[in-house]
Structure 1
Amino acid sequence: MLEKIFAPYRDYSLFVLRLFVGAVFIAHGALKLFGGLSGFAGFLQQAGAPLPDTMAPLVAAVEFFGGVALVLGLGTRTAAIVLSVVMVVAMATVTLKAGFAGGYDINLALLGGLLALLLAGPGKIAHGGDL
């Protein structure tokens, strides 16, 4: 019964996934890009990341523009791969040590969404093909 109800909306599922995952990355990237780069660089330095002053704007830009790409459905698989690398590095270097209380759970959920988009692509409701 539920299959009959929701079948006409199946094409919207990937759009909804792209919208929500992309919005999270846009928000986090924007916070870093537009006012928090020095603080983020300090955080990276404290976490032991190499070249924190170089990595901070790079990660912030990847998060922001990768999120925009996901929302628009432009280069969805490429954005998903790059953002997945950011998530895996963040999880391995920072949040894994702190566990769920330190944000590991949100990174894990975002990684799951990114991997789903990598496998499925942007779906029919997207502005462009996949790069």
Structure 2
Amino acid sequence: MIAGLVKWYHDGLQNHHRRFDSYSPCHFNMQKQTLSLFLLRLTLGAIFVGHGAVKLFLQRSETTEYFSRLGFPSANLFAVGIGVLELACGTLLIVGLLTRVIAALFAAEMLVAFFTAELPHGFTPGTQLTIVLFVVSLSLTLLGSGNWSLDSYYWKQKRERLEKRDRL
């Protein structure tokens, strides 16, 4: 199963490394796609870093109380765990490291938030944000990190090493 996930992750990144003539329409579309994915990663990562920092450093007791009211066991553990997840993984998302895995975690978090915290209270402005964060997370899970990322750099370096080894 892990090997399958690694292959899926690697295959998705391969699509971002095609080379096009710099004057072709495909080249400009790749630039737009790269910029779009970068902006999505940057925005989503910054939102989660901010939310994680608030949960960990500014409102830990309020967050713990909130998780307790929602019926989560070990509410303090959940508050700290979600805060760490959002802060650390948001930072990794900004730099584009393990983008698909992290975006999938955020999509799962937003699904849980939607069904436990938002849906019981009806459609509120908070619900709208949860839905948008879920859709952006799902999009990054499916599309990957784009060329301006550490993921892209890593796979490019790995591919070059393999090509160099194959030439020997």
TM-score, normalisation: structure 1? 0.88
State the partner residue of 2:130: 107
State the partner residue of 1:117: 140
Moved more, 114-123 or 79-88: 79-88
* Kept after mapping to 1: 8 A contact 2:45/2:89: yes
Equivalent residue runs for 1:83-98 within 5 Å: 83-98=106-121
Match of 2:38 among 15, 24, 27: 15
| Aligned residue identity for 2:123 | F
| Aligned residue identity for 1:73 | G
CA distance in 2, matches of 1:75, 1:55: 23
Match of 1:78 among 89, 101, 104: 101
State the partner residue of 1:63: 86
| Aligned residue identity for 1:12 | L
Q: CA deviation at 1:102?
A: 5.2
SS class of match (2:124): helix
TM-score, normalisation: structure 2? 0.70
- Aligned pairs, number: 128
* Rg (Cα) greater in structure: 2
| Aligned residue identity for 1:74 | L
| Aligned residue identity for 2:46 | A
* Kept after mapping to 2: 8 A contact 1:23/1:67: yes
* Kept after mapping to 1: 8 A contact 2:33/2:146: no
CA distance in 2, matches of 1:47, 1:23: 26
| Aligned residue identity for 1:96 | L
* Kept after mapping to 2: 8 A contact 1:26/1:67: yes
CA distance in 1, matches of 2:59, 2:35: 34
CA distance in 2, matches of 1:28, 1:100: 21
